[in-house]
């Protein structure tokens, strides 16, 4: 029999428990109600779960810093920009990056995303089944992002190797040993740097009108970005751009496949799609947690956090907090007030949130227009990953068109 999660006596929570990753809602509730600040197994690091506390931490980087020790930098030699630095330096980078991901600019790629979504569906709709992650959730957002970066689509598998090698190294190393995967991350990080060093060298010789080209010309205080700054931005973008929307699409479709009343309502009323995207971001929250470094001693709910401790802000738990969301345990595509934290908050709020929303809205619209009735293949069990919660195996079936 599996131990209770969280531990009913100590409150210690196992964030990598497969059952928790598959369906975390009950654990979130127990944490918020009984252990709003607790510790995680394996790392012994503090975990914060209530909305008010998580929001406060996100909005005070001077107390809960994103400037991690480089040992926590996921295979990097320097901090990723702008995620792993704090204001005021972080703010200067956001000023040059935010316009690249504005809603107006992202709307400009929506027609291409819609076209590609239909091309992907064309390839499997007549078969009456697909493995959603491989056949749709990976290629749709990844292709759109590679186009923005100006990177070759035919090298997608290489970029996925990069992304997995940092975020989910066990999938590529074949080991669950922490030291093995630490070394794998470092080796992958070197590959990423080397790849983008070659890209930058080529773009200096042959300028392009894409995101990498923009970074080569961008200036802060009258000075162009250095080689290392461009590398550190590119390192972050290739991880974020190839993972979180894929993860969100899988979580959303898995929920809808298991909840036919919501699925049918969305298929019958496409106008609900933007609200559905926001509500499913709240309910599923693929980026379950984000780390922060305590810069000073803090006491929350009688729990002492020491300066220097790595703290986990549990976004998924905060997004189901009844103190912030009315009927928090219900999925409501017409929720009027939805200040979810799926994209974070404060200075480090997700740079690509507009891109993600447009990709998600377009994908759900086209999927339900073409395949309104679908279900998980009988006898199959979807497989979820920890950390960034992705449904890595989601076999779907439907009645093929006559």
CATH number at residue 374: 1.10.630.10
Give the residue numbers spanning the domain of 386: 18-397
The 3-state DSSP class for residue 75 equals: coil
Task: Provide the percentage of residues in the chain whose pLDDT is more than 70.
Answer: 98
What is the arithmetic mean of pLDDT over 344-373?
97
What residues pair up with 393 in beta bridges, in sequence order? 383
Query: What's the whole-number average pLDDT of the chain?
Result: 94
User: Mean pLDDT throughout 345-360?
Assistant: 96
- pLDDT exceeds 60 at position 71: no
Stated as kind and residue range, the H or E segment containing 120 is helix 110-124
Residues paired with residue 46 on neighbouring β-strands, in sequence order? 39
50 Rama class: left (phi>0) / alpha (psi -120 to 50) / beta: beta
- Measured CA angle at 312 (ends 284, 325), to 5 deg: 40
Distances in Å between the alpha carbon of 200 and those of 197, 217, 268, 293, 332?
5, 12, 47, 32, 46
Residue 5 inside a domain? The answer is no
| CA distance between the termini of the chain | 48
The alpha carbon of 222 is separated from its chain's Cα centroid by a whole number of angstroms, namely 33
Average pLDDT over every residue of 128-139: 97
Place of tokens 């316009």: 99
Residue 178 confidence (pLDDT): 82
pLDDT at 402: 63
Helix runs in 259-385, H state only: 260-268, 273-284, 315-318, 353-370
Question: What is the total count of domains within the chain?
Answer: 1
Domain presence at residue 12? no
Query: How confident is residue 128, by pLDDT bands cut at 50, 70 and 90?
Result: very high
pLDDT for 70 equals 58
- CB contact at 8 A, 270 and 368: yes
Structure tokens at 111: 């027609």
Residues in a beta bridge with 312: 47, 291
Cα torsion 236, 215, 59, 167 to 10°: value is 0
6 domain-assigned: no
Question: 44 lies in a domain?
Answer: yes
pLDDT confidence of residue 73:
58
User: pLDDT of 41-69, one tens digit each?
Assistant: 988 999 999 999 999 999 999 999 999 87
CB 311 within 8 A of CB 292: yes
Give the pLDDT band (50/70/90) at residue 83. Answer: very high
Report if residue 7 sits inside a domain: no
Give the pLDDT of residue 54: 98
The Cα-based distances of 334 to 70, 280, 338, 353 in angstroms read 43, 11, 10, 20
For residue 75, pLDDT over 90 is answered with: no
Give the model's pLDDT for residue 176. Answer: 81
The helix or strand, by DSSP H or E, that contains position 395, with its residue range, turns out to be strand 395-397
Over residues 94-108, the pLDDT tens digits come to 999 999 999 999 999
In a domain, 3, yes or no: no
Cα-Cα-Cα-Cα dihedral sign, residues 271, 273, 276, 281: negative
DSSP-derived secondary structure letter, 378: T
Task: State pLDDT tens for residues 270-320.
Answer: 999 999 999 999 999 999 999 999 999 999 999 999 999 999 999 999 999
Residue partners of 402: CB distance under 8 A and separation at least 6: none
Distance CA 166, CA 79 (A): 14
| Segment 155-193, tens digit of pLDDT | 999 999 999 999 888 889 888 888 898 899 999 999 999
Is the pLDDT at 1 greater than 70? The verdict is no
pLDDT at 386: 84
Q: What is the pLDDT of residue 227?
A: 96
Residue 348 has pLDDT above 90, yes or no: yes
Q: What is the pLDDT of residue 2?
A: 64
Could you tell me if residue 8 is inside a domain? no
User: Please, where are the H alpha helices in 174-272?
Assistant: 178-205, 211-217, 227-241, 244-258, 260-268
Per-residue pLDDT, averaged over 130-153, amounts to: 95
- Strands 46-48 and 310-313 turn out to be parallel
Identify the pLDDT of residue 173: 87
The predicted structure's pLDDT at residue 72: 55
Q: Which residues pair with 223 in a beta bridge?
A: 220
Q: Does residue 10 fall inside a structural domain?
A: no
């Amino acid at each position: 029999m599996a131990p209770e999660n969280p531990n009913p006596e100590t409150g210690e929570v196992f964030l990598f428990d497969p059952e928790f990753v598959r369906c975390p809602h009950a654990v979130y509730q127990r944490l918020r109600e009984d252990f709003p600040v607790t510790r995680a197994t394996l790392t012994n690091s503090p975990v914060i779960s209530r909305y008010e506390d998580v929001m406060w931490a996100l909005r005070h980087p001077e107390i809960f810093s994103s400037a991690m020790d480089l040992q926590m930098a996921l295979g990097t030699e320097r901090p990723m920009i702008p995620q792993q630095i704090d204001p005021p330096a972080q703010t200067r980078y956001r000023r040059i990056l935010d316009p690249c991901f504005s809603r107006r600019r992202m709307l400009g790629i929506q027609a291409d995303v819609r076209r590609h979504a239909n091309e992907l569906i064309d390839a499997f709709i007549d078969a009456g089944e697909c493995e959603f992650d491989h056949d749709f959730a990976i290629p749709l957002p990844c292709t759109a992002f590679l186009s923005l970066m100006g990177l070759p689509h035919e090298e997608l598998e290489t970029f996925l190797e990069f992304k997995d090698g940092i975020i989910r190294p066990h999938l590529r190393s074949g080991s669950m040993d922490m030291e093995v995967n630490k070394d794998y991350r470092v080796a992958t990080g070197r590959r990423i740097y080397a790849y983008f060093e070659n890209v930058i060298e080529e773009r200096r010789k042959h300028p392009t009108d894409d995101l990498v080209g923009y970074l080569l010309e961008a200036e802060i205080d009258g000075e162009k970005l250095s080689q290392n700054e461009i590398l550190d931005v590119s390192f972050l973008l290739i991880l974020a751009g190839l993972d979180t929307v894929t993860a969100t699409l899988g979580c959303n479709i898995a929920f809808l496949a298991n909840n036919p009343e919501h699925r049918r309502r969305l298929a019958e009323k496409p106008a609900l799609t933007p609200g559905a995207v926001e509500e499913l971001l709240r309910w599923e929250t693929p980026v379950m947690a984000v780390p922060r470094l305590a810069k000073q001693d803090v006491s929350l709910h009688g729990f002492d956090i020491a300066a220097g401790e790595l703290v986990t802000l549990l976004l998924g738990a905060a997004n189901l907090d009844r103190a912030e969301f009315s009927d928090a345990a219900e999925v409501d595509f017409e929720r009027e007030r939805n200040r979810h934290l799926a994209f974070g908050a404060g200075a480090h709020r997700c740079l690509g949130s507009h891109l993600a929303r447009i990709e998600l809205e377009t994908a759900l619209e086209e999927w339900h227009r073409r395949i309104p009735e679908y279900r998980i293949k009988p006898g199959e069990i979807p497989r979820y990953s920890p950390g960034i919660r992705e449904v890595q195996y989601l076999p779907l079936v439907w009645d093929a068109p006559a």
